[in-house]
Structure 1
Amino acid sequence: MFRYDGKFFRVLEVVTAFFQLNILWLLLCIPVITIFPATVAMYCVTRQWILHKDYSVIRPFFQFFKENLKQSFGLGILWIVFSGLFFLDLMLLKNVGSFQYILLPVLFLMGLLILFTSIFIFPTIANFKVNWLNAIKNSLFFSIRYLLTTLTGILYIGLMALILFKWPITFLFIFSLGAYSIYFLCHRVFTKINLVKSS
C-alpha cells in the first residue's frame, strides 16, 4: 500500500522547482537581449525560496521579469558595452608595443572589478529597490568589503563551468542551482548589513 511520505514529496517539490526555474531562464535567454531581465527574475525567485520557503516558480518568475525588465535591460546593455570594450582592448593590446606593459595592469584591474561586481549585481538588484547606478556602486562595495564571499562566488561559478563541461546534461538545472548558491552567499552579507543598520 502506498504511504504518503512528506519528506519525499518536499524533496521532489524542490528538485522540480530548480528544474522549472532553470528551463524558464534558458527559454527567456534565447532572445539574448532578455538575458539580464531573465537572470534578475531567477535571482528574485531564489530569494523568495530562501526567505519564505515558497518554491513556486512560474507566476513569480514572470512577475519579477516584468517588474525588473526596464532597469535590468538597461543595465545589461551597459554591462555588455563595458565587457565588450574590455575584451576589445585585450585583443588590441599586442598592437601597442611596449605600451602594453602599462595597459596590462590597468586592464587586469578593470577585469577584476567587473568580475567582482558581477557576483553581487544580480543578488543586489533582487534584494534592494535601487536604480542601476546604485546597484553597481553597492555591488562593487559589497564585493570588496566581503572579499571572501566574492571569491567563494567565483569558485562556485568555476565549479559550475567544470561540472557543465564534464556532464553537459546538467544544463537542465545547473544555472538555477548556481543562482541559488550565489544568492545564499550574498544573503548572509545582506543580513549582516541589516543587523548593523538596526543596531
Structure 2
Amino acid sequence: MSSIFNLDNPFFTGLNKIVDAFFLSIIFLITCIPIVTIGPALTALYYATAKSLRRDRGYVSKEYFKAFKMNFKQGLVTGLIVMLMTVILIVDWNYAKRLHGNLGVVLFTIFTALMVLLLFVSIYIFPILSRFKTKLGQLFKTAFFMSIRHLPSTILMVIIIAFFALLVYLIWIPILFTPALCALLISFLMERILKKYMPPKADEEEKGGVDEWYLE
C-alpha cells in the first residue's frame, strides 16, 4: 500500500512531468507575448526541457529564466533575423506564386527551397544557442551544417513540429502543453546530435564539480 503513495512511483513521476510540461509551456507562451522575444524564449524552452523536464536537473522555471536571461541579447537578435527572413521569403513566395510562365515556376521553386532551408536552420539554431557560445554568423552556419548533415533527423523533427502545429490549429487547447511536449520529443533527436559536437570529458579542463548533464 505504501508504494501506491510513494512520490517516486511511475504514476506520480509521470504526473509531475505533465504538470512541469504545462507550467513550462505557460511560461514560454507568456514570454513570447511581445513577439520579438521569441528567440530567447525558444532558447530557454529547449534548455529547460532538455535539462529539467527530461533529465530532472533543477526546477523548470528556474532553468528557463536562467537560460532566457543568459541568452537574451543574442537570442533576441537571432529571433529577429529569423522572423525578418521569414517575412521576406513569404512575400517573395506569394509574389512568385502569382507569376505565370517559366519564370514563375523557377522563382516559386527557389523560394520554396529557401523557406524549407530556413525552417531547417530555425529548428537547430536555438538549441545550439542554448548549448554553445558562438558568434552570430557562426551560429547560422553551424545550424545550417547540422541540419543538412543530419538530414533524416531534421526531417523527423519537421514532422514532429508539423504534427503539433496541426493539432493546435485544429484544437487550440493543447497549446497549453504542446510547446514543452514538442521540445521534449525534439530533444531526443537533438541531444544525440549536439553530443557529437561536445568535447569528450577526458579532453576538457577540470570543471570543478559542474554538472555536465548534457553529456549523459
**TM value normalised by structure 2:** 0.82
Of 31-40 and 17-26, more deviation after overlay is shown by 31-40
Q: Does 1:162 align with 2:163?
A: no
- The amino acid across from 2:74 in the alignment is Q
Shift of 1:146: 0.5
Q: What is the match of residue 110 of structure 1?
A: 114
Which of 56, 68, 84 is equivalent to 1:65?
68
1:111–1:178 Cα change, 3 Å = same
Shift of 1:40: 0.9
* Superimposed CA distance per residue, residues 48-71 of structure 1 (whole angstroms, 9 cap, x where no aligned partner): 137742251112211111111100
Q: What is the match of residue 27 of structure 1?
A: 30
Shift of 1:101: 2.6
Conserved? CA contact 1:153–1:182, under 8 Å: yes
Where relative contact order (Cα < 8 A, 6+ residues apart) is larger, the structure is 1
- The amino acid across from 2:134 in the alignment is V
Shift of 1:12: 2.3
Q: Does 1:44 align with 2:18?
A: no
Determine the C-alpha separation between the residues in 1 that align with 2:19 and 2:199. Answer: 34
Identify unmatched segments of 5+ residues in structure 1.
none
Q: Does 1:83 align with 2:86?
A: yes
1:23–1:80 Cα change, 3 Å = same
Of 174-183 and 45-54, more deviation after overlay is shown by 45-54
Q: How many residues were matched structurally? A: 199
Shift of 1:18: 0.6
- The amino acid across from 1:9 in the alignment is F
Q: Does 1:126 align with 2:130?
A: yes
Q: What is the match of residue 214 of structure 2?
A: none
1:94–1:109 Cα change, 3 Å = closer
1:165–1:91 Cα change, 3 Å = closer
Of 30-39 and 142-151, more deviation after overlay is shown by 30-39
- The amino acid across from 1:167 in the alignment is I
Conserved? CA contact 1:71–1:132, under 8 Å: yes
Identify unmatched segments of 5+ residues in structure 2.
204-216
> How much is the aligned-residue C-alpha RMSD, in angstroms?
2.4
Q: What is the match of residue 59 of structure 2?
A: 56
Conserved? CA contact 1:17–1:55, under 8 Å: no
| Identical positions, percent | 30
**TM value normalised by structure 1:** 0.89
Shift of 1:90: 1.5
Conserved? CA contact 2:24–2:61, under 8 Å: yes
Structure holding more helix per residue: 1
